[in-house]
Chain A
Amino acid sequence: KQEVTQIPAALSVPEGENLVLNCSFTDSAIYNLQWFRQDPGKGLTSLLLIQSSQREQTSGRLNASLDKSSGRSTLYIAASQPGDSATYLCAVISMSDNAGNMLTFGGGTRLMVKP
């Protein structure tokens, strides 16, 4: 059964700092990996999706990388801003899960960017 882990669980940084969020997964047979952002009391907003054949995706100040063979992904946030404060979740769709193409989520990293 696929398991997804995110480290650290919480992170506090000063504004302007570049930062890296980590995600690891146990089964490398995946279709894709998706990074989400969740604001308090809100749903999830999709940030980036990386197909299994891709190494990275970029959107603005965000860059996500994927190393499928080692079961790792990183989300790099450049020049962090207070508006980046949120919980960041990674999720994978595994080829081998019995429940179709379900997303398996990590526990999230709660990010706070201080002005």
Chain B
Amino acid sequence: NAGVTQTPKFQVLKTGQSMTLQCAQDMNHNSMYWYRQDPGMGLRLIYYSASEGTTDKGEVPNGYNVSRLNKREFSLRLESAAPSQTSVYFCASSEFETQPQHFGDGTRLSIL
């Protein structure tokens, strides 16, 4: 009964380092999403994938790239981390785009 699994749960990076956040869902959902949550800004969509093989920009895509590896997995990559990318990152999935979204527990990322 895993739902949406995100790895790692915590990460500290230095400015300029790169890393990939991993997300996998076991609900056979078609759509997957990456959000970031910041105090005072709420949750904002970074990228989404409506279906396997497609990806599109959300509200705040700059500095990020994504890969929909297969139907289960959707990864988020920071090529050159910046302190402004310190945030909590959530992955979510839904059966289709307008269906309820199910969230992972988040990755807490600090960039020094």
Contact = CB atoms under 8 A, between A and B. Distances in A.
B is bound to A: yes
Interface of A: 31-32, 34, 36, 41-46, 49, 89, 91, 93, 99-103, 105-108
A31 B98 contact: yes
A99 B42 contact: no
A43 B42 contact: no
B90 interface: yes
Interface residues of B, number: 25
A102 B42 CA distance: 14
Given A46-B103, A100-B56, A100-B97, 12 more contacts: A31-B98, A32-B98, A43-B90, A49-B99, A49-B100, A93-B97, A99-B45, A102-B48, A103-B43, A103-B101, A105-B44, A108-B42
B98 A44 contact: no
B50 to A, nearest CB: 6
B106 A34 contact: no
Interface of B: 4, 33, 40, 42-45, 48, 50, 56-59, 90, 92, 97-106
Contacts of B57: 99
Q: Which of the listed residues A31, A34, A99 has the most CB atoms from chain B within 10 Å of its own CB?
A: A99
Contacts of A36: 103
A44 B59 CA distance: 19
Contact of B58 (A42, A99, A105, A107): A99
B106 A42 contact: yes
A38 B48 CA distance: 21
Given A102-B48, A102-B59, A105-B43, A34 B101 contact: yes
Nearest to A99: B58
Contact of A43 (B50, B56, B100, B105): B105
